[in-house]
Structure 1
């Protein structure tokens, strides 16, 4: 963080000011004039928490995508289908076993195995051919979407969280000055808070793995110069196979998360693939912190847009992407090389 501030003092100042404004809006009592512009503070805070938890879901999907697309340079446009397939499988497993938690490791393994097949049979044969990878994975996503539509139909499915996560949690906040500035409690679904903490743990773990371990060093070195690393005796193909499997399994796990506090239905694969693309573009290809920041920005823009400008809420996401591409094409935390 100190190194980032020393390299980019202007960006650091902008981020610091934005964080200070957001913290003031959340924790400080609101004056009556601000309430007239933004409405009741409870509505605003619900939108903020909704955007943060939606960003956590986007991060779970996009973090696997940034490993496959941003770090390994594999154009996998079937990533959204892996998300939806993981959600459907999680629904079936949780309904059959009655265990929400058991669905996570089982779905991770199944979708990771599918990722291994994709990496070994598709991407290994078209290494470096971005256009062929794009066209083939679009075809795979269409086939998977039709198979899922045939088996699960066109109705929506919801995965029920366990009883210990099904109720609301209470969050203490400070009301507006008009309400005497007293502390009130905001009720928010406990399962979304649990998902947020899980996303933070997964994100920190992935960053540590890629930046502080020998395996992460091999992955980054293999992306930069595969031939040189292979000549040193490292089985880079096995490493890439494992990274691809992990990214695919993470998309499947995200499908369970998405089916728990939203729903699963045809078309969700395209929606989350598009969201992952936007998050990676905004945050920067191959950057786990960039994916986290991009997911948070997109999640907040969607939720705040739905509250304050529902007609134009979809436009905000693409407007953010256009601004980032105009002023920083490599993404907020992407490398310029």
Structure 2
């Protein structure tokens, strides 16, 4: 096992973690401000990926496609907030789950109708289709490092937005006392639409960036939605800081587990059994992490109302 391989897996962990953060940040922001469980968040991830791939294919520019994916996801988020979500804020969480689950089906069938049933493919920009040398030998794809950079910039941008701007002040106030900020003259409906659009745009950003690493297909948002929920439960629902820490932990546990667990089992078991046990435990590892965190801190690592 070389140092280059270990370093590569650490970078893979970080890349997965920051993308999960970008996805989970929008989800936890919406829940923290609105108290809304949005199962359709993964569909907004898919919208960003599809529009990015389609526009990039038409224009030949990944960056124009990326901008289109962000705009499309934000617009889709604003529309469904105004048409659907506003009717759910005062409803039971079960009603929110059922309504947003129906949106998953609508988005999936609508995407299949607009773009077709066949996957789309998004090419990595030519300038980023190279590798960066790693310590100890080997190389690491430059595009994956750019994804890490996007994740870091997103974290910094969210921190500045929430802590240093008037909109951020309203968001923080909305988390603690939405009736009071309404009484002070803040348009709650506009605030909620903006917050939901920001959360949708973050999901679209994650989908567009990851779309260049895998095929863009209908239903691609559901698996990552599950991981995003694991992240916000570990970090603390409604906490951006918790989403960041939780995402990095999930990225580390998932990636390193898949890379190294079978090698640990191979020290005591035949190769076939080691691979089987390693793969099984790796697939459960993030859920075991969530169970351990919840047993220790039932509200997550950084609960908003702790």
Aligned to 2:165: 213
CA deviation after TM superposition for structure 1 residue 193, in Å? 0.3
Spell out, residue by residue over 1:294-335, the C-alpha distance to the aligned partner (whole angstroms, 9 max, x if none). 111111111112112323211001001111111112211223
Tell me, yes or no, if the aligned pair for 1:71 and 1:285 is still in contact at 8 Å.
Answer: no
- Residue 329 in structure 1 maps to residue 281 in structure 2: no
- Between the aligned partners of 2:298 and 2:125, the Cα distance in structure 1 is 43
* Contact persistence 1:306–1:313 (CA under 8 A): yes
Q: Which of 190, 193, 196 is the equivalent residue of 2:145?
A: 193
Q: Indicate conservation of the 8 Å contact 2:242/2:303, yes or no.
A: yes
> Which of 270, 285, 291 is the equivalent residue of 2:243?
291
Aligned partner of 1:94 in structure 2 is 56
1:195 Cα shift?
1.0
The answer as to whether partners of 2:50 and 2:69 remain within 8 angstroms in 1 is: no
Q: Does 1:315 align with 2:287?
A: no
Which entry has the higher C-alpha Rg, 1 or 2? Answer: 1
Does 291-300 or 303-312 show the bigger shift? 303-312
Q: Distance in 2 between matches of 1:137 and 1:251?
A: 15
Structure 1 window deviating more from structure 2 (285-294 vs 73-82): it is: 285-294
The counterpart of 2:210, out of the listed 258, 262, 275, is 258
| Structure 2 counterpart of 1:53, from 6, 15, 21 | 15
- In structure 2, stretches of 5+ residues that fail to align are 261-277
Q: 1:133, 1:311 → 2: CA distance?
A: 33
Q: Secondary structure at the match of 2:132?
A: strand
Distance in structure 1 (CA, Å) of the matches to 2:16 and 2:84: 32
- Quick check: 2:53–2:216 contact (8 Å CA) kept in 1? no
CA change 1:311–1:41 in 2 (3 A) is farther
| Matched residue SS, 1:185 | coil
* SS of equivalent residue, structure 2 residue 137: strand
CA distance in 2, matches of 1:153, 1:300: 36
Contact 1:302 1:313 survives alignment (8 Å): yes
Q: Distance in 2 between matches of 1:305 and 1:149?
A: 35
Kindly state the Cα deviation for residue 155 of structure 1 after the two structures are TM-superposed: 4.5
* Superposed displacement of residue 156, structure 1: 4.0
CA contact (8 A) 2:33 2:174 kept: no
CA distance in 2, matches of 1:41, 1:267: 37
TM-score for both structures, normalised by structure 1: 0.81
Aligned to 2:88: 126
How far apart, in 1, do the equivalents of 2:12 and 2:119 lie? 21
Instruction: Give how far 1:186 is off.
Output: 3.6
Q: What secondary structure does 1:188 align onto? A: strand
The total of aligned residue pairs comes to 288
| TM-score normalised over the length of structure 2 | 0.89
Answering whether residue 190 of structure 2 is matched by residue 238 of structure 1, we say yes
